[in-house]
């Protein structure tokens, strides 16, 4: 019996109908990538699969792949999405060597809200204890509830047991939480990976704001009420279009960049952006439009705004009634933009390069 099938049916892998159905995919994976078994490579795991309709997740995958291509050009990259990260584990275990680097997709699912993702990430961290694992920029959230405390304890125990794990946070609040949860881990702080896509050009105010794009979430993270949408529709002096970055269609891996360009064109075709989506805010930034951000139920968006302290066309509104005033302030003067790659992403690549040369990680800030 092939080794990966022995692994599959060992008592370490929970057998289910879906696991059985993935046997052909495991065989196809080994046939496709088996020639890389003796090559030092990168495994990029936990990327969004096509049925995950959140364009922000796919945009991060686009940015990470481009960053890997720029800073780790000699490493073949094998991408495995969230489903593959679970059900291709027998084949990945056979293919991977201790010299390979494992990168875990960035996002906002490290914690209690990552009900589907966090258990798989824990599984990878537990399974590949001898590999360098780099968890790319994440927002951490655990609620102050018995369930939140229980999940926090599990994550802390599993992560802390890995001797070669580097955790990158994407906001200062998450970094502080990580210091408490993982006191001996190698930590880093880097903004959302979508900022690696920045074309690096300046912002010029619009002559007149006539067309507003309102990008609001509709999930438990939202603290908006229906009256907020009505207020925006009735009080913004111009045409108001509502949109969400959660799309109603599949986003295939080879179509990610195309779908992202389509969304950015929508943002570019409006004069100002109002949003409580982190990636709605970043897409507005990438499109060089005045952006007013609204808080959500946790620290994710408010803390992320710290990165834009010196960007005059990015503003935070704590009250819906302040939106129009802040739009006008955001549109009031020209603004330079940071060179995110130089300031953060090139440095992150250097840190990872140094980290991978060490047998055990040291604490970094």
Kindly give, in sequence order, each residue whose CB lies less than 8 Å from that of residue 295, ignoring residues fewer than 6 positions away.
223, 276, 301, 302, 316, 318
CATH level 3 topology of 3-195+344-355: Rossmann fold (3.40.50)
Which pTM does this prediction carry? 0.91
CATH level 3 topology of 201-330: Rossmann fold (3.40.50)
pLDDT in 10s for each residue of the chain, 365 residues:
555 555 544 444 455 677 788 899 999 999 999 999 999 999 999 999 999 999 999 999 999 999 999 999 999 999 999 999 999 998 999 999 999 999 999 999 999 988 889 999 999 999 999 999 999 999 999 999 999 999 999 999 999 999 999 999 999 999 999 999 999 889 999 999 999 998 777 899 999 999 999 999 988 889 998 899 999 999 999 999 999 999 999 999 999 999 999 999 999 999 999 999 999 999 999 999 999 999 999 899 999 999 999 999 999 999 999 999 999 999 999 998 999 999 999 999 999 987 765 544 333 33
Give alpha helix (H) positions in the chain: 3-8, 17-21, 23-33, 55-71, 82-87, 89-95, 118-127, 146-160, 172-181, 226-235, 256-268, 278-286, 300-304, 323-330, 340, 346-355
Domain with CATH 3.40.50.2000 in the chain: 3-195+344-355
Say if residues 43 and 80 touch (Cβ distance below 8 Å). Answer: yes
Count other C-beta atoms under 10 Å from residue 355's C-beta.
19
- Spatial CA neighbour of 236 closest among 270, 262, 285: 270
């Amino acid at each position: 019996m092939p080794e990966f099938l022995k692994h599959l049916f060992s008592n370490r892998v929970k057998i289910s109908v879906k696991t059985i159905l993935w046997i052909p995919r495991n065989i196809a994976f080994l046939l496709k990538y088996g020639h890389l078994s003796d090559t030092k490579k990168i495994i990029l795991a936990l990327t969004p699969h096509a049925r995950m309709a959140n364009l922000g997740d796919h945009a991060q995958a686009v940015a990470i792949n481009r960053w890997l291509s720029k800073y780790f050009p000699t490493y073949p990259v094998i991408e495995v999405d969230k489903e593959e990260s679970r059900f291709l584990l027998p084949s990945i275990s056979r293919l991977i060597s201790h010299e390979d680097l494992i990168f875990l997709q960035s996002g906002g699912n490290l914690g209690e809200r990552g009900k589907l993702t966090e258990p798989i990430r824990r599984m990878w961290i537990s399974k590949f204890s001898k590999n360098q694992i780099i968890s790319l920029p994440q927002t951490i959230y655990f609620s102050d509830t018995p369930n939140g405390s229980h999940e926090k304890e599990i994550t802390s125990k599993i992560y802390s047991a890995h001797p070669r794990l580097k955790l990158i946070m994407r906001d200062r609040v998450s970094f502080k939480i990580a210091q408490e949860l993982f006191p001996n881990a190698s930590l880093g702080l880097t903004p959302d990976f979508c900022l690696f896509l920045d074309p690096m050009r300046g912002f010029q105010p619009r002559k007149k704001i006539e067309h507003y794009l309102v990008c609001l979430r509709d999930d438990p993270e939202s603290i908006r009420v229906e009256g907020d949408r009505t207020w925006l529709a009735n009080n913004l002096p111009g045409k108001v279009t509502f949109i969400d970055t959660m799309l109603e269609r599949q986003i295939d891996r080879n179509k990610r960049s195309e779908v992202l360009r389509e969304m950015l064109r929508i943002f570019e075709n409006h004069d100002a952006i109002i949003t409580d989506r982190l990636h709605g805010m970043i897409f507005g930034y990438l499109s060089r439009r005045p952006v007013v951000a609204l808080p959500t139920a946790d620290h994710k968006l408010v803390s992320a705004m710290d990165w834009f302290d010196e960007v005059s066309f990015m503003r935070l509104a704590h009250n819906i009634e302040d939106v129009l005033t802040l739009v006008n302030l955001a549109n009031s003067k020209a603004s330079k933009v940071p060179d995110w790659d130089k300031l953060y992403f090139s440095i992150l690549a250097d840190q990872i390069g140094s980290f991978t040369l060490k047998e055990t990680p040291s604490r970094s800030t």
